[in-house]
Chains A and B, each alone.
Chain A
Amino acid sequence: MATLSAHGIAAPLPAGFEGRIFVRSRIGDEVPYPVAQLATFALPAEVGDFGGGAVNLMGSRDIFATLFEYGPESLGRRLFARQGMPRSLGVTDFRPYVLRRGLTGQSGTQWFFTESLRPFTLYVVLGSHTQRNVLVPRVNSLISSLTISPLSGLTAMGSAAAEPAYPPSPAGGGRWN
């Protein structure tokens, strides 16, 4: 089983999955943080953080997942109060209206949480809501083994370091949504 690993995120990939873990290049004063994108279809070179440019390519049996890290200023906020990423989702967690881009037939789920003192959101899209009984177990096979490690350079609960502990990729950039 191939494993993606960078920026303190490791994702063993079940058969049929591919993905990337990257940090976009800095634009202005904005500080970018790691993003992991995982999919069962060929991801285009330029994909928005939450699947823009990719979810429209999904077939009914496809899955797209993104793990998006927020800055340390988000630590301790109520939105990120959940400790730990969900490692098993149910079919009822997916709803057609939980989509950043409301493409007909798809459904999604989104979770905010903190793990290893790092605030994240996990956003998952199913190619077809009606296929969720088949697709959700595949999602679970992906997220059950995904690990998030603490990063050096981040301090606890809101006393944020201003700079990320990882360099943005020089080749990053491009789309944001």
Chain B
Amino acid sequence: MGPPLPGERNSTSAPTVAGLTPGGDALAIAVSGGDHLTLLAFLSSGCATCAGFWKAFERPDRLGLPGNTRLIVVTKGPGMEIPDEVGFQARSGVPVVMSTEAWEDYEVPGSPFFVLVEASSGRRIGEGVANHFDQVVELVRRAESDASALSLGSRSRSFSEGLDGPARELDNDRELMAAGIYPGDPSLYPSSQGELHGSTVRKAG
């Protein structure tokens, strides 16, 4: 989504978002812990592109986000946004946090900007600009799919049960042999980065 962002950005950290609501209450959202996704929508009350998102958020049930996704709107704080104007835009049940600090924490280049955080790892797994919410939904679905694939690919006993030492080695040996890779197999001794990363394809067994 959108142009590439500066490479020096810290694009993985995902601190808690805390600030005020347009009504003057305090609200903090912890984006790590649990098994859900948090989609942070950094919007402004006055930006033209944001208007479409505010409108879309009036019906959160029609957004098409996966069920385990928590949508949070983040505007700049009351020193840089007029709470009444933000309150006027935020007429749905989507939580709105006014926090300039969150914009700084997430190094938001401008609005609109979206950040997707995976609670289980506490890391950003996607971020960028979009013109329409459909594009954001696509990002979320793709990220969710990638995360599921990674989870499936990592589901060895040694990973899921936290094995260590000889038990882990034995378990790894079993998995390799199940895949047809026995002691001495050349694939265990890559001679180049290409072999290591699979650009030289060979069939095991």
Contact = CB atoms under 8 A, between A and B. Distances in A.
A3 B21 CA distance: 14
A98 interface: no
Contacts of B141: none
26 contacts: A2-B15, A3-B18, A6-B20, A6-B25, A9-B26, A13-B16, A17-B30, A19-B26, A19-B27, A19-B28, A20-B27, A21-B26, A22-B23, A22-B25, A22-B26, A40-B30, A40-B33, A45-B93, A166-B24, A167-B24, A169-B21, A169-B23, A169-B25, A170-B87, A171-B22, A171-B87
Contact of A41 (B16, B25, B33, B90): B33
A interface residue count range (under 10 / 10 to 19 / 20 to 34 / 35 or more): 20 to 34
Contacts of A19: 26-28
B156 to A, nearest CB: 25
B52 interface: no
B interface residue count range (under 10 / 10 to 19 / 20 to 34 / 35 or more): 20 to 34
B95 A45 contact: yes
Contact of B18 (A13, A22, A23, A40): A13
A131 interface: no
Contact of A21 (B25, B32, B95): B25
The 7 closest A-B pairs by CB, nearest first: A169-B23, A6-B26, A2-B18, A18-B30, A22-B25, A21-B26, A2-B16
B70 interface: yes
Interface of A: 2-7, 9, 13, 16-23, 40-42, 45, 166-167, 169-172
B28 A171 contact: no
B166 to A, nearest CB: 30
A128 to B, nearest CB: 16
Contacts of B27: 4, 19-20
B34 interface: yes
B29 interface: yes
Contacts of B22: 171
Contacts of B36: 42
Majority-rule SS of A interface residues: loop
Interface in B3-40: 15-18, 20-30, 32-34, 36
Given A13-B16, A18-B16, A45-B93, A6 B24 contact: yes
A13 to B, nearest CB: 6
Contact of B25 (A18, A23, A40): A23
Contacts of B30: 13, 16-18, 40, 42
Given A41-B33, A41-B34, A4 B18 contact: yes
B15 to A, nearest CB: 7
Nearest to B90: A171
Nearest to A20: B27
Given A7-B25, A20-B28, A40-B30, 5 more contacts: A13-B16, A16-B30, A19-B28, A20-B21, A41-B33
